[in-house]
Amino acid sequence: MPPSGTSNKTLQILEAAEQHGYGVLAAIAYNVEHITALVRAAESRRSPLILQLFPSTLVQLPSLVYAASAACKGASVPISLHLDHAQDENQIRKVVETMPFDSIMVDMSHHEHHENLQKTQELTKLCHQKGIAVEAESGRINGGEDGIADTGELEALFTSPEEVEEFLGVEIDLLAPSIGNIHGDYPPAGPKLDFDRLRSIREQINGRVKIALHGTNDFSPELTKDCIAAGTAKVNVNKLLLECWSKFLKENAHLSIVQIIDQGIEVLQKETERWMVICGSAGRC
């Protein structure tokens, strides 16, 4: 049985977002300062949040997942813990057995279509046995992010209605469609999304799974709002939030370590709060 919206925290958060027409930031954290800033922003704005880690971070900083889990559980607003772009089957099996994630993106999109579906189905069953919700990518979103296999050599494939049905058939809980969104930075002309496709995917899904939007680097507030209005509940963000923190570090290396940590957290908290207001999730809990 897939986890129901009433028992899985990620699905509960997204169910409420869909019902009331707002989006929830699913924000990548690379370290404990990021986690602190993101959680403080959620509490300060009374907003739900999905905290995301990359599989590479589990290897680079093995203790971070436990800090992230404690932060989620201790927060005064709903915050769930999600593993983004898990592409290694062995790692997924280990994570499911040993780590406190509420949801996992089982990303087999680097495999050929039939194999992608088959592996997704098998791993989804495993996750559901532990009450973990599953996100999958239909079509193929091009580009690469930290620790994720770059699909640049492969052809980007827009999500088709047939694929949506096939993924619903393997009982995933969240779908990340390919609608012209890419991982990494967009060309100078900026993102060009196929909104008709996104709206028709939402109609086809008809509430059976939630929609996650990847590849939001360079998104404007308006474009983000349009995506939410067209059916996106989970708004994956990485550079969109974290760039301000990286910039702060580069410009303030002369400060003391304590000052860098404190002020860096503050900069990221403010930027996260701004995007929570844009997504409409502020003041919802």
Q: Kindly tell me which of 214 and 234 has the beta carbon lying closer to Zn ion.
A: 214
User: Which residue of the chain is nearest Zn ion when measured via CB?
Assistant: 214
Q: Is 183 annotated as a binding residue?
A: yes
Pairing of strands 133-137, 234-237: unpaired
119 lies in the binding site for Zn ion (CB under 5 A)? no
Question: Which member of 40, 45, 202, 214 binds Zn ion (CB under 5 A)?
Answer: 214
Stretch in the footprint of Zn ion (CB under 5 A) among 52-60, 87-95, 153-161, 210-218: 210-218
How would you classify residue 79: left for phi > 0, otherwise alpha for psi between -120 and 50, otherwise beta?
A: beta
Task: Give the nearest distance from C-beta 259 to Zn ion in angstroms.
Answer: 33
Task: Give the nearest distance from C-beta 85 to Zn ion in angstroms.
Answer: 6
Q: Kindly tell me which of 36 and 151 has the beta carbon lying closer to Zn ion.
A: 151
- CA dihedral 122→127→91→74, nearest 10 degrees, is 170
CA distance 56 to 61: 9
| Strand intervals (E) in the chain | 24-28, 49-53, 79-86, 103-106, 133-137, 174-176, 210-213, 234-237
Q: Is 137 annotated as a binding residue?
A: yes
- Here the tokens at position 171 are 């009982």
Q: Kindly tell me which of 134 and 265 has the beta carbon lying closer to Zn ion.
A: 134
User: CB neighbours of 38 closer than 8 A, spacing ≥ 6?
Assistant: 27, 29, 49, 51, 241, 268, 269, 272
| x/- map, 157-196, Zn ion, by CB under 5 A | ----------------------------------------
Task: Give the nearest distance from C-beta 219 to Zn ion in angstroms.
Answer: 13
Q: Kindly tell me which of 31 and 87 has the beta carbon lying closer to Zn ion.
A: 87
Hey, how many other C-beta atoms are within 10 angstroms of the C-beta on 195? 16
Active site residue 84: yes
234 lies in the binding site for Zn ion (CB under 5 A)? no
DSSP 186: P
Residue type, 187: P
Q: Is 165 annotated as a binding residue?
A: no
User: CB neighbours of 253 closer than 8 A, spacing ≥ 6?
Assistant: 260
82 lies in the binding site for Zn ion (CB under 5 A)? no
Task: Give the nearest distance from C-beta 216 to Zn ion in angstroms.
Answer: 9
Active site residues: 84
Q: Using CB under 5 A as the criterion, which residues of the chain lie in contact with Zn ion when the complex forms?
A: 214
Annotated binding residues, as ranges?
A: 85, 107, 137, 183, 214
